[in-house]
Structure 1
Amino acid sequence: MSERQMATTMEEVRADHRLRYELAIEELKRRGKTGTVIDAGCGVGYGSWMLSQAVDNVISIEINEEAHDIYRKHWQRPNITFHNADLLSFEPKERVDAVVCFEFIEHVEFYDAAIKKFSEWSEFLIISTPNEEVRPHLQEPVNPFHFRHFRPTELSDALGKHRLHVESWQCQRSGAKPEIHAGTAGKFIIAICQRAAA
Protein backbone atom coordinates (compact mmCIF):
# COMPACT_ATOMS: atom_id res chain seq x y z
CA MET A 1 0.00 0.00 0.00
CA SER A 2 1.19 3.52 -0.82
CA GLU A 3 0.07 7.11 -0.60
CA ARG A 4 1.63 7.75 -4.02
CA GLN A 5 -0.78 8.85 -6.76
CA MET A 6 -0.67 6.27 -9.54
CA ALA A 7 -2.42 8.49 -12.09
CA THR A 8 -2.30 7.48 -15.75
CA THR A 9 -4.12 10.58 -17.08
CA MET A 10 -4.06 14.22 -16.05
CA GLU A 11 -7.73 13.98 -15.12
CA GLU A 12 -6.80 11.48 -12.39
CA VAL A 13 -4.27 13.82 -10.79
CA ARG A 14 -5.48 15.69 -7.71
CA ALA A 15 -6.12 19.37 -8.40
CA ASP A 16 -3.80 20.56 -5.61
CA HIS A 17 -0.91 18.58 -7.10
CA ARG A 18 -1.49 19.99 -10.59
CA LEU A 19 -1.62 23.52 -9.21
CA ARG A 20 1.76 23.13 -7.50
CA TYR A 21 3.41 22.18 -10.77
CA GLU A 22 1.64 25.04 -12.55
CA LEU A 23 3.09 27.38 -9.92
CA ALA A 24 6.55 25.88 -10.48
CA ILE A 25 6.26 26.41 -14.23
CA GLU A 26 5.28 30.06 -13.72
CA GLU A 27 8.22 30.64 -11.36
CA LEU A 28 10.72 28.89 -13.63
CA LYS A 29 9.61 30.92 -16.64
CA ARG A 30 9.58 34.18 -14.69
CA ARG A 31 13.14 33.62 -13.46
CA GLY A 32 14.49 32.27 -16.75
CA LYS A 33 15.30 28.88 -15.25
CA THR A 34 14.02 26.81 -18.16
CA GLY A 35 17.09 24.75 -19.01
CA THR A 36 17.42 21.54 -16.97
CA VAL A 37 15.18 20.96 -13.94
CA ILE A 38 15.19 18.07 -11.46
CA ASP A 39 11.84 16.69 -10.27
CA ALA A 40 12.84 14.99 -7.01
CA GLY A 41 10.60 12.22 -5.68
CA CYS A 42 8.51 12.54 -8.81
CA GLY A 43 6.23 9.51 -8.37
CA VAL A 44 4.77 8.31 -11.67
CA GLY A 45 5.96 11.44 -13.46
CA TYR A 46 2.87 13.48 -14.30
CA GLY A 47 4.57 16.54 -12.81
CA SER A 48 7.70 15.87 -14.84
CA TRP A 49 5.48 15.65 -17.92
CA MET A 50 3.98 19.05 -17.07
CA LEU A 51 7.41 20.59 -16.47
CA SER A 52 8.77 19.11 -19.70
CA GLN A 53 6.41 21.28 -21.74
CA ALA A 54 7.98 24.44 -20.29
CA VAL A 55 11.69 23.61 -19.86
CA ASP A 56 14.39 22.09 -22.05
CA ASN A 57 15.07 18.98 -19.98
CA VAL A 58 13.64 17.29 -16.90
CA ILE A 59 15.59 14.84 -14.74
CA SER A 60 13.08 12.75 -12.78
CA ILE A 61 14.09 10.78 -9.70
CA GLU A 62 11.88 8.13 -8.11
CA ILE A 63 12.85 4.96 -6.26
CA ASN A 64 9.53 3.09 -6.62
CA GLU A 65 9.57 0.55 -9.45
CA GLU A 66 5.79 0.45 -9.90
CA ALA A 67 5.79 4.22 -10.35
CA HIS A 68 8.55 3.84 -12.94
CA ASP A 69 6.44 1.32 -14.86
CA ILE A 70 3.51 3.76 -14.99
CA TYR A 71 5.84 6.54 -16.12
CA ARG A 72 7.09 4.40 -19.02
CA LYS A 73 3.55 3.56 -20.13
CA HIS A 74 1.89 6.95 -19.70
CA TRP A 75 4.18 9.93 -19.01
CA GLN A 76 7.28 9.64 -21.20
CA ARG A 77 8.48 12.58 -23.28
CA PRO A 78 11.74 12.88 -25.24
CA ASN A 79 13.10 15.58 -22.93
CA ILE A 80 12.49 13.64 -19.69
CA THR A 81 15.17 11.35 -18.27
CA PHE A 82 13.66 9.15 -15.57
CA HIS A 83 16.03 7.67 -12.99
CA ASN A 84 14.52 4.78 -11.02
CA ALA A 85 16.97 5.40 -8.20
CA ASP A 86 17.57 6.34 -4.59
CA LEU A 87 17.64 10.14 -4.36
CA LEU A 88 20.66 10.23 -2.06
CA SER A 89 22.78 8.12 -4.41
CA PHE A 90 21.92 10.19 -7.49
CA GLU A 91 24.34 12.78 -8.89
CA PRO A 92 23.56 14.88 -11.97
CA LYS A 93 26.39 15.35 -14.45
CA GLU A 94 26.35 19.09 -13.75
CA ARG A 95 24.45 21.66 -11.71
CA VAL A 96 20.92 22.26 -12.92
CA ASP A 97 18.74 25.35 -13.23
CA ALA A 98 16.28 24.32 -10.52
CA VAL A 99 15.01 21.54 -8.29
CA VAL A 100 11.30 20.93 -7.75
CA CYS A 101 10.30 18.72 -4.81
CA PHE A 102 6.63 18.43 -3.94
CA GLU A 103 5.24 16.40 -1.05
CA PHE A 104 8.34 14.28 -0.53
CA ILE A 105 10.34 15.32 2.53
CA GLU A 106 7.54 14.44 4.95
CA HIS A 107 7.81 10.84 3.74
CA VAL A 108 11.48 10.31 4.62
CA GLU A 109 13.59 10.40 7.74
CA PHE A 110 16.58 11.64 5.71
CA TYR A 111 14.99 14.99 4.84
CA ASP A 112 18.10 16.89 5.96
CA ALA A 113 20.35 14.89 3.63
CA ALA A 114 17.83 15.38 0.82
CA ILE A 115 17.80 19.16 1.29
CA LYS A 116 21.63 19.13 1.29
CA LYS A 117 21.51 17.36 -2.07
CA PHE A 118 19.07 19.90 -3.47
CA SER A 119 21.41 22.72 -2.45
CA GLU A 120 24.32 20.97 -4.17
CA TRP A 121 22.36 20.36 -7.36
CA SER A 122 21.01 23.88 -7.87
CA GLU A 123 20.82 27.41 -6.50
CA PHE A 124 17.03 27.43 -6.89
CA LEU A 125 14.48 25.18 -5.18
CA ILE A 126 10.69 25.00 -5.00
CA ILE A 127 9.54 22.64 -2.25
CA SER A 128 6.26 21.79 -0.53
CA THR A 129 5.19 19.85 2.53
CA PRO A 130 2.21 19.64 4.92
CA ASN A 131 2.01 22.46 7.45
CA GLU A 132 2.32 21.22 11.05
CA GLU A 133 0.59 24.36 12.31
CA VAL A 134 -2.56 23.61 10.30
CA ARG A 135 -2.47 19.80 10.00
CA PRO A 136 -0.43 18.34 12.89
CA HIS A 137 1.24 15.08 11.98
CA LEU A 138 -0.13 13.22 15.03
CA GLN A 139 -3.66 14.51 14.65
CA GLU A 140 -6.14 11.71 13.94
CA PRO A 141 -6.32 10.18 11.45
CA VAL A 142 -2.52 9.92 11.47
CA ASN A 143 -1.04 9.46 8.00
CA PRO A 144 1.04 6.26 8.26
CA PHE A 145 3.17 7.27 5.27
CA HIS A 146 4.46 10.48 6.86
CA PHE A 147 7.34 10.73 9.32
CA ARG A 148 6.59 14.34 10.22
CA HIS A 149 5.09 17.65 9.08
CA PHE A 150 6.87 21.01 9.20
CA ARG A 151 6.03 24.36 10.71
CA PRO A 152 7.10 27.16 8.36
CA THR A 153 9.87 28.14 10.78
CA GLU A 154 11.09 24.52 10.91
CA LEU A 155 11.18 24.22 7.14
CA SER A 156 12.92 27.58 6.84
CA ASP A 157 15.54 26.48 9.39
CA ALA A 158 16.07 23.13 7.62
CA LEU A 159 16.55 24.91 4.31
CA GLY A 160 18.72 27.65 5.80
CA LYS A 161 21.09 25.06 7.26
CA HIS A 162 22.09 24.38 3.65
CA ARG A 163 22.10 28.06 2.59
CA LEU A 164 18.70 27.90 0.92
CA HIS A 165 16.92 31.17 1.70
CA VAL A 166 13.12 31.26 1.42
CA GLU A 167 12.33 34.18 -0.88
CA SER A 168 8.57 33.70 -0.76
CA TRP A 169 5.92 31.48 0.77
CA GLN A 170 2.81 30.14 -0.90
CA CYS A 171 0.18 27.87 0.61
CA GLN A 172 -2.85 25.72 -0.22
CA ARG A 173 -5.93 24.52 1.51
CA SER A 174 -7.09 20.97 0.81
CA GLY A 175 -10.35 19.65 -0.56
CA ALA A 176 -12.56 21.44 -3.06
CA LYS A 177 -10.65 24.75 -3.02
CA PRO A 178 -6.92 24.03 -3.38
CA GLU A 179 -6.02 27.37 -4.96
CA ILE A 180 -2.57 28.70 -4.14
CA HIS A 181 -2.28 31.85 -2.03
CA ALA A 182 0.62 33.89 -0.67
CA GLY A 183 1.60 33.15 2.93
CA THR A 184 1.77 30.13 5.22
CA ALA A 185 -1.81 29.75 6.46
CA GLY A 186 -2.72 26.68 4.40
CA LYS A 187 -2.58 22.94 5.02
CA PHE A 188 0.31 22.76 2.56
CA ILE A 189 3.20 25.22 2.47
CA ILE A 190 5.34 25.92 -0.58
CA ALA A 191 8.75 27.55 -0.19
CA ILE A 192 10.44 29.24 -3.14
CA CYS A 193 14.13 29.30 -2.31
CA GLN A 194 17.39 30.76 -3.58
CA ARG A 195 20.76 29.50 -2.37
CA ALA A 196 22.78 32.18 -0.60
CA ALA A 197 26.33 32.95 -1.65
CA ALA A 198 29.09 31.30 0.33
Structure 2
Amino acid sequence: MPDPRPLDFTGERFTPECVREMAYEHWHRYAWAAELVEGLDVLDAACGEGYGSHLLAARARSVTGLDIGEEAVAHARERYARDNLSFDQGDATTLPYEDDRFDVVVSFETLEHLEAQETLLAEFRRVLRPNGFLVISSPDRKTYSDETGYDNPFHVRELYRDEFESLVSATFPAFRLYGQKLMFVSALWNLATAEGRQFQTDENGSIHSGSTPDYPPLYFIAVAAAREESLPPVPGLSLYGDRSESVYRHYNEEVAKHIRAGHLLAERDAEIERLKTKLARPWWRRLLGRS
Protein backbone atom coordinates (compact mmCIF):
# COMPACT_ATOMS: atom_id res chain seq x y z
CA MET A 1 0.00 0.00 0.00
CA PRO A 2 1.48 3.43 -0.94
CA ASP A 3 2.10 5.98 1.77
CA PRO A 4 -0.85 8.30 2.43
CA ARG A 5 -0.60 11.91 1.38
CA PRO A 6 1.66 13.81 3.81
CA LEU A 7 -0.03 16.08 6.32
CA ASP A 8 0.15 19.74 5.42
CA PHE A 9 2.89 21.56 7.30
CA THR A 10 1.27 24.39 9.24
CA GLY A 11 4.27 25.41 11.34
CA GLU A 12 2.73 23.89 14.48
CA ARG A 13 3.36 20.18 13.86
CA PHE A 14 6.56 18.71 12.40
CA THR A 15 6.21 16.30 9.48
CA PRO A 16 8.91 13.97 8.11
CA GLU A 17 8.87 15.85 4.82
CA CYS A 18 10.50 18.84 6.54
CA VAL A 19 14.22 19.06 5.81
CA ARG A 20 17.53 20.34 7.13
CA GLU A 21 17.58 22.21 10.43
CA MET A 22 14.08 21.39 11.67
CA ALA A 23 14.47 17.75 10.66
CA TYR A 24 17.74 17.47 12.58
CA GLU A 25 16.18 18.82 15.78
CA HIS A 26 13.10 16.62 15.75
CA TRP A 27 14.58 13.37 14.46
CA HIS A 28 17.48 13.64 16.92
CA ARG A 29 15.20 13.79 19.95
CA TYR A 30 13.39 10.62 18.99
CA ALA A 31 16.56 8.77 17.94
CA TRP A 32 18.06 9.72 21.31
CA ALA A 33 14.96 8.62 23.23
CA ALA A 34 14.77 5.33 21.33
CA GLU A 35 18.02 4.28 23.00
CA LEU A 36 16.32 4.59 26.41
CA VAL A 37 13.11 2.62 25.82
CA GLU A 38 14.39 -0.87 24.90
CA GLY A 39 11.77 -3.46 25.91
CA LEU A 40 9.52 -0.94 27.68
CA ASP A 41 5.89 0.20 27.34
CA VAL A 42 5.91 3.78 26.04
CA LEU A 43 3.38 6.59 25.70
CA ASP A 44 4.29 9.20 23.06
CA ALA A 45 2.12 12.10 24.22
CA ALA A 46 1.24 14.67 21.54
CA CYS A 47 2.75 12.38 18.92
CA GLY A 48 1.71 14.47 15.90
CA GLU A 49 1.68 12.59 12.62
CA GLY A 50 3.30 9.52 14.19
CA TYR A 51 6.83 9.34 12.79
CA GLY A 52 8.42 9.48 16.26
CA SER A 53 6.14 6.83 17.73
CA HIS A 54 7.07 4.57 14.83
CA LEU A 55 10.76 5.14 15.50
CA LEU A 56 10.38 4.37 19.21
CA ALA A 57 8.43 1.19 18.42
CA ALA A 58 11.48 -0.31 16.73
CA ARG A 59 13.07 -0.63 20.19
CA ALA A 60 10.22 -0.57 22.71
CA ARG A 61 7.97 -3.45 23.77
CA SER A 62 4.94 -1.34 22.93
CA VAL A 63 4.24 2.27 21.94
CA THR A 64 0.99 4.16 22.19
CA GLY A 65 0.89 7.44 20.31
CA LEU A 66 -1.63 10.00 21.54
CA ASP A 67 -2.60 13.25 19.83
CA ILE A 68 -5.50 15.66 20.13
CA GLY A 69 -5.76 16.10 16.35
CA GLU A 70 -8.22 13.77 14.65
CA GLU A 71 -6.55 14.20 11.26
CA ALA A 72 -3.10 13.48 12.69
CA VAL A 73 -4.25 10.28 14.41
CA ALA A 74 -6.03 9.02 11.31
CA HIS A 75 -2.93 9.72 9.26
CA ALA A 76 -0.64 7.97 11.78
CA ARG A 77 -2.82 4.85 11.83
CA GLU A 78 -2.72 4.67 8.03
CA ARG A 79 0.96 5.47 7.54
CA TYR A 80 2.67 3.61 10.39
CA ALA A 81 1.90 -0.04 10.99
CA ARG A 82 3.63 -2.20 13.61
CA ASP A 83 2.23 -4.94 15.79
CA ASN A 84 3.45 -3.12 18.90
CA LEU A 85 2.26 0.36 17.84
CA SER A 86 -1.17 1.97 18.26
CA PHE A 87 -2.56 5.49 18.10
CA ASP A 88 -5.30 7.12 20.18
CA GLN A 89 -7.00 10.47 19.99
CA GLY A 90 -7.11 12.39 23.24
CA ASP A 91 -6.01 15.33 25.35
CA ALA A 92 -2.62 14.95 27.06
CA THR A 93 -3.90 16.87 30.10
CA THR A 94 -6.68 14.29 30.65
CA LEU A 95 -5.06 11.04 29.55
CA PRO A 96 -7.51 8.21 28.75
CA TYR A 97 -5.40 5.56 30.51
CA GLU A 98 -5.44 3.87 33.88
CA ASP A 99 -2.86 4.57 36.58
CA ASP A 100 0.56 2.90 36.28
CA ARG A 101 0.03 2.02 32.60
CA PHE A 102 3.43 2.89 31.09
CA ASP A 103 7.14 2.52 31.80
CA VAL A 104 8.03 5.68 29.86
CA VAL A 105 6.25 8.83 28.75
CA VAL A 106 7.86 10.75 25.89
CA SER A 107 6.57 14.22 25.07
CA PHE A 108 8.59 16.48 22.80
CA GLU A 109 7.74 20.15 22.19
CA THR A 110 4.33 19.86 23.85
CA LEU A 111 4.75 21.83 27.06
CA GLU A 112 5.05 25.29 25.50
CA HIS A 113 1.74 24.85 23.66
CA LEU A 114 -0.21 24.57 26.91
CA GLU A 115 -1.13 26.83 29.80
CA ALA A 116 -2.01 23.87 32.05
CA GLN A 117 1.57 22.63 32.31
CA GLU A 118 1.32 21.46 35.92
CA THR A 119 -1.72 19.38 35.00
CA LEU A 120 0.17 17.83 32.11
CA LEU A 121 3.06 16.75 34.34
CA ALA A 122 0.65 15.37 36.95
CA GLU A 123 -1.06 13.25 34.31
CA PHE A 124 2.28 11.92 33.11
CA ARG A 125 3.18 10.96 36.68
CA ARG A 126 -0.21 9.26 37.17
CA VAL A 127 0.10 6.93 34.16
CA LEU A 128 3.74 6.04 34.85
CA ARG A 129 4.59 2.92 36.82
CA PRO A 130 6.48 3.43 40.10
CA ASN A 131 9.83 2.83 38.38
CA GLY A 132 8.85 4.68 35.20
CA PHE A 133 10.42 7.83 33.81
CA LEU A 134 9.55 10.83 31.64
CA VAL A 135 11.43 12.30 28.67
CA ILE A 136 10.19 15.81 27.91
CA SER A 137 11.51 18.76 25.92
CA SER A 138 10.74 22.46 25.59
CA PRO A 139 12.50 25.47 24.04
CA ASP A 140 14.52 27.81 26.25
CA ARG A 141 12.66 31.10 26.21
CA LYS A 142 15.92 33.05 26.58
CA THR A 143 17.68 31.68 23.49
CA TYR A 144 14.61 30.70 21.45
CA SER A 145 12.64 33.94 21.78
CA ASP A 146 14.30 36.70 23.81
CA GLU A 147 17.64 36.71 22.00
CA THR A 148 16.20 36.19 18.52
CA GLY A 149 13.09 38.36 18.78
CA TYR A 150 11.10 35.42 17.38
CA ASP A 151 7.46 35.15 18.43
CA ASN A 152 6.08 31.68 17.74
CA PRO A 153 2.31 32.13 17.35
CA PHE A 154 1.66 28.52 18.43
CA HIS A 155 3.44 28.86 21.78
CA VAL A 156 1.31 29.70 24.79
CA ARG A 157 3.77 29.51 27.69
CA GLU A 158 7.50 29.32 27.08
CA LEU A 159 9.82 28.75 30.04
CA TYR A 160 13.23 29.92 31.16
CA ARG A 161 15.62 27.29 32.46
CA ASP A 162 14.84 27.85 36.14
CA GLU A 163 11.10 27.73 35.41
CA PHE A 164 11.45 24.48 33.47
CA GLU A 165 13.52 22.90 36.22
CA SER A 166 11.05 24.02 38.90
CA LEU A 167 8.11 22.69 36.92
CA VAL A 168 9.66 19.27 36.30
CA SER A 169 11.11 18.82 39.79
CA ALA A 170 7.79 19.63 41.50
CA THR A 171 6.34 16.39 40.07
CA PHE A 172 9.51 14.41 39.33
CA PRO A 173 12.07 15.11 42.09
CA ALA A 174 14.82 13.16 40.32
CA PHE A 175 15.79 14.58 36.94
CA ARG A 176 18.72 15.28 34.67
CA LEU A 177 18.74 18.20 32.27
CA TYR A 178 20.18 18.13 28.76
CA GLY A 179 20.65 20.90 26.21
CA GLN A 180 20.06 20.67 22.48
CA LYS A 181 21.22 23.02 19.76
CA LEU A 182 21.82 22.66 16.05
CA MET A 183 25.35 23.58 15.01
CA PHE A 184 28.05 22.66 12.51
CA VAL A 185 30.29 20.08 14.14
CA SER A 186 33.77 18.89 13.24
CA ALA A 187 34.29 15.55 14.96
CA LEU A 188 37.82 14.26 15.53
CA TRP A 189 38.22 11.09 17.54
CA ASN A 190 40.43 8.08 18.15
CA LEU A 191 39.03 5.18 16.12
CA ALA A 192 40.37 2.65 18.66
CA THR A 193 38.54 4.12 21.67
CA ALA A 194 35.24 5.79 22.50
CA GLU A 195 36.84 8.61 24.47
CA GLY A 196 37.01 12.17 23.22
CA ARG A 197 37.17 15.86 24.04
CA GLN A 198 35.35 18.97 22.87
CA PHE A 199 37.39 22.01 21.78
CA GLN A 200 36.19 25.56 21.20
CA THR A 201 37.85 28.85 20.31
CA ASP A 202 36.72 32.16 21.78
CA GLU A 203 36.67 35.59 20.12
CA ASN A 204 40.33 36.07 21.03
CA GLY A 205 41.43 32.83 19.40
CA SER A 206 42.11 31.05 22.68
CA ILE A 207 41.23 27.34 22.74
CA HIS A 208 39.11 25.89 25.51
CA SER A 209 38.43 22.19 26.06
CA GLY A 210 35.84 20.24 27.96
CA SER A 211 33.82 17.06 27.99
CA THR A 212 30.61 18.66 26.68
CA PRO A 213 29.80 21.44 24.16
CA ASP A 214 30.00 24.92 25.68
CA TYR A 215 27.06 26.55 23.89
CA PRO A 216 23.76 27.97 25.17
CA PRO A 217 21.06 25.37 24.38
CA LEU A 218 18.09 26.24 22.22
CA TYR A 219 16.05 23.42 23.72
CA PHE A 220 16.07 21.65 27.07
CA ILE A 221 15.35 17.95 27.43
CA ALA A 222 14.70 16.44 30.85
CA VAL A 223 14.82 12.78 31.77
CA ALA A 224 12.86 12.64 35.00
CA ALA A 225 11.52 10.13 37.50
CA ALA A 226 10.10 9.89 40.98
CA ARG A 227 13.28 8.25 42.26
CA GLU A 228 16.93 8.53 41.29
CA GLU A 229 17.29 4.77 40.80
CA SER A 230 14.55 4.86 38.16
CA LEU A 231 16.55 7.08 35.84
CA PRO A 232 18.02 5.19 32.84
CA PRO A 233 21.70 5.46 31.88
CA VAL A 234 22.08 8.17 29.23
CA PRO A 235 25.23 9.03 27.22
CA GLY A 236 26.77 12.37 28.07
CA LEU A 237 27.06 13.40 24.43
CA SER A 238 25.05 12.49 21.34
CA LEU A 239 25.51 13.74 17.78
CA TYR A 240 23.07 13.45 14.90
CA GLY A 241 23.32 14.07 11.18
CA ASP A 242 22.29 12.67 7.82
CA ARG A 243 24.65 10.92 5.43
CA SER A 244 23.94 13.36 2.61
CA GLU A 245 24.98 16.23 4.94
CA SER A 246 21.95 18.23 3.80
CA VAL A 247 22.42 21.17 6.18
CA TYR A 248 26.09 21.62 5.28
CA ARG A 249 25.35 21.14 1.58
CA HIS A 250 22.59 23.77 1.77
CA TYR A 251 24.97 26.10 3.58
CA ASN A 252 27.59 25.68 0.83
CA GLU A 253 24.98 26.26 -1.87
CA GLU A 254 23.89 29.50 -0.21
CA VAL A 255 27.51 30.64 0.15
CA ALA A 256 28.10 29.89 -3.54
CA LYS A 257 25.01 31.93 -4.44
CA HIS A 258 26.33 34.90 -2.46
CA ILE A 259 29.75 34.60 -4.11
CA ARG A 260 28.18 34.52 -7.59
CA ALA A 261 25.97 37.47 -6.69
CA GLY A 262 29.05 39.37 -5.46
CA HIS A 263 30.87 38.73 -8.74
CA LEU A 264 27.82 39.86 -10.72
CA LEU A 265 27.52 43.05 -8.67
CA ALA A 266 31.23 43.78 -9.17
CA GLU A 267 30.82 43.34 -12.94
CA ARG A 268 27.81 45.65 -12.98
CA ASP A 269 29.60 48.25 -10.85
CA ALA A 270 32.49 48.20 -13.32
CA GLU A 271 30.07 48.60 -16.24
CA ILE A 272 28.34 51.51 -14.48
CA GLU A 273 31.69 53.24 -13.94
CA ARG A 274 32.58 52.69 -17.62
CA LEU A 275 29.29 54.22 -18.73
CA LYS A 276 29.71 57.16 -16.33
CA THR A 277 33.15 57.86 -17.82
CA LYS A 278 31.77 57.63 -21.33
CA LEU A 279 28.86 59.97 -20.55
CA ALA A 280 31.25 62.50 -18.97
CA ARG A 281 32.96 63.18 -22.38
CA PRO A 282 31.79 66.18 -24.44
CA TRP A 283 28.81 65.36 -26.61
CA TRP A 284 30.63 66.07 -29.88
CA ARG A 285 33.44 63.62 -28.96
CA ARG A 286 30.84 60.95 -28.19
CA LEU A 287 29.12 61.73 -31.50
CA LEU A 288 32.40 61.37 -33.44
CA GLY A 289 33.45 58.36 -31.41
CA ARG A 290 36.59 60.16 -30.22
CA SER A 291 38.10 59.76 -26.77
TM-score range, shorter chain: 0.7 to 0.9
2:107 is equivalent to residue 101 of structure 1: yes
Q: 1:171 aligns with which of 176, 179, 189?
A: 179
Mapped to 2, the partners of 1:106 and 1:36 lie a distance apart of: 25
After superposition, what is the alpha-carbon deviation per residue over 1:56-103, rounded to whole angstroms, capped at 9, x for unaligned? 101111011121122122123221121111122323244311111100
> Equivalent residue for 1:188?
219
2:170 is equivalent to residue 161 of structure 1: yes
| 8 Å CA contact 1:170, 1:184 repeated in 2 | no
Count of equivalent residues: 188
> Equivalent residue for 2:125?
119
Amino acid at match of 1:57: S
After superposition, what is the alpha-carbon deviation per residue over 1:121-146, rounded to whole angstroms, capped at 9, x for unaligned? 22301110001221236953310000
| 8 Å CA contact 1:61, 1:85 repeated in 2 | yes
The correspondence of residues 75-86 of structure 1 with structure 2, limited to 5 A, is 75-86=80-91
After superposition, what is the alpha-carbon deviation per residue over 1:6-65, rounded to whole angstroms, capped at 9, x for unaligned? 336999x81211111111122234xxxx32111011101111000000011011110111
Amino acid at match of 1:124: F
Task: Label 1:184 to 1:116 Cα distance change in 2 as closer, same or farther (>3 A).
Answer: farther
**TM score, norm. by length of structure 2:** 0.58
2:36 match: secondary structure = helix
Amino acid at match of 1:196: R
Shift of residue 163 of structure 1? Answer: 3.2
- Greater RCO, 1 or 2 (C-alpha within 8 Å, sep 6+): 1
2:66 is equivalent to residue 58 of structure 1: no
Amino acid at match of 1:43: G
Task: Label 1:110 to 1:51 Cα distance change in 2 as closer, same or farther (>3 A).
Answer: same
Percent identity at matched positions? 27
> Equivalent residue for 1:135?
144
**TM score, norm. by length of structure 1:** 0.83
Query: What is the root-mean-square deviation in Å for CA atoms of aligned residues?
Result: 2.7
1:149 match: secondary structure = coil
Mapped to 1, the partners of 2:124 and 2:30 lie a distance apart of: 17
Larger radius of gyration: 2
> Equivalent residue for 1:38?
43
Mapped to 1, the partners of 2:106 and 2:214 lie a distance apart of: 19
1:69 match: secondary structure = helix
Mapped to 2, the partners of 1:138 and 1:108 lie a distance apart of: 22
